[in-house]
Amino acid sequence: MEMENNKALRVFAEEIRVETLREFEHLGFGHVGGSMSIVELLAVLYGGEMRIDPKQPQMENRDKLVMSKGHAGPAVYATLALKGYFPRDVLFTLNQGGTSLPSHCDRLKTVGIDATTGSLGQGISVACGMAMGAKLKKWGSYVYLCLGDGECNEGQIWEGALFAAHFGIDNLITFVDLNKQQLDGGTDEVLFMGDMVDKWNAFGWFTQKVDGHNIDAIQAAIAAAKAQSGKPSVIILDTVKGNGCELAENTFPCHHIAFKPEQIAPSIEKAEAALAAARAAL
C-alpha cells in the first residue's frame, strides 16, 4: 500500500514539473531553477502530508506552507492548480498584468497561498508566529517553512532559528532547499555558510539531511520530525537547482533565466515522458 502511495506521489511530482514548465514556456522567462528544485517536496506536502481542503482554503485548523523563497511561487501555483484550488488555465497568466499569480507568492492574490513572501529572510518570522498561534489555539496543526540556501545568508533567519528553539515550537518543520546556487553565483562562493546540519544543530533544532528529490526520504524525514517534542525541526534537502529542466540544469547561474519556446521545448518533452512513465508504473 505504501509503495502504491509513493508511486502516486511520483506521478504528482511529475505533474507539478510539467505544469510548472508549461507556465514558464508561456511566459518566456522566470525563476526556473528554484522552482524545479522543490517539486518533490511539494508533491509530498500537498499529496497527503498536509491537512488541507481545497474546497475550504481558509479552514482555520489547516496546515500551512510558508514558501519563504517566494520566487518559487510558480511551482506552488502548479501544485495548487492540480489540487483544485483554481483552474489550470490560470497558470498561463503567470506574472502578467491583472494576474492572480504574481512572480512571488502573495496571499492576497492567490487562493491557497498562506503567506506573502519574496523579501528573503522574512518567512521564518511569519512561520514562527503561525505555529505559535496554532499551538495556543490547540489546533494540532503544523506549519511548514521552505527556505533557500542562499536565503540563509540573511540574519533574520538565525534570529528566527533562536526564537523557535527557545520557545520549543515543535509544530514548525522547516526545509532548506540546498541547491547550491543563489541569484548571482554559487552559495559557497557568495557567502560560505559552513555545514548546514552542524549550524542548525548548534541553534537547537532537530536536524536531518536527505536527498531532496527522493520522495521516500522526504516522507521519512517528516515522520521523524513529527516524532520530536519540545524543539523545532529542519530538514536539509540536498537538491539540484533546475532539476528536471535541462535548460536550467545546464545554466549557471539559473536563478532567473529568459528563453525562447524552442529552447525549453526539449525539457517539457522529457518531463512529459517522465510523467507518462510514472503513470504507467501505477
The domains of the chain are located at 2-280
CA terminus-to-terminus distance, the chain: 12
* Phi/psi at 235 (5° precision): -120, 115
Give pLDDT, residue 249.
85
Give the pLDDT band (50/70/90) at residue 134.
Answer: very high
Alpha carbon 129 to its chain's center? 19
Q: Between 129 and 282, whose confidence is greater?
A: 129
pTM confidence score: 0.96
Q: Alpha-carbon distance 147 to 133, whole Å? A: 21
Which residue spans within the chain are E strands per DSSP? 29-30, 64-67, 143-148, 172-178, 181-182, 185-186, 206-211, 233-238, 257-258
Rg (CA), the chain: 18
CA–CA separation, 127 vs 123, rounded Å? Answer: 6
- Looking only at the bridges linking them, the beta strands covering 257-258 and 29-30 are antiparallel
Closest listed residue to residue 114, CA positions, set 79, 138, 152: 79
> Rounded to an integer, what distance in angstroms lies between the CA atom of residue 132 and that of residue 1?
35
Q: Is the pLDDT of residue 145 over 90?
A: yes
Enter the DSSP assignment of 116.
-
pLDDT at position 3, please?
Answer: 55
Sign of CA dihedral 264, 34, 86, 17: positive
Total length of the chain: 282
Topology annotation, domain 2-280: Rossmann fold (3.40.50)
The strand pairing partners of 177, in sequence order, are: 148, 237
* SS3 at position 214: coil
- In this predicted model, what pLDDT tens digit does every residue of 250-259 receive, in sequence order? 677 788 889 9
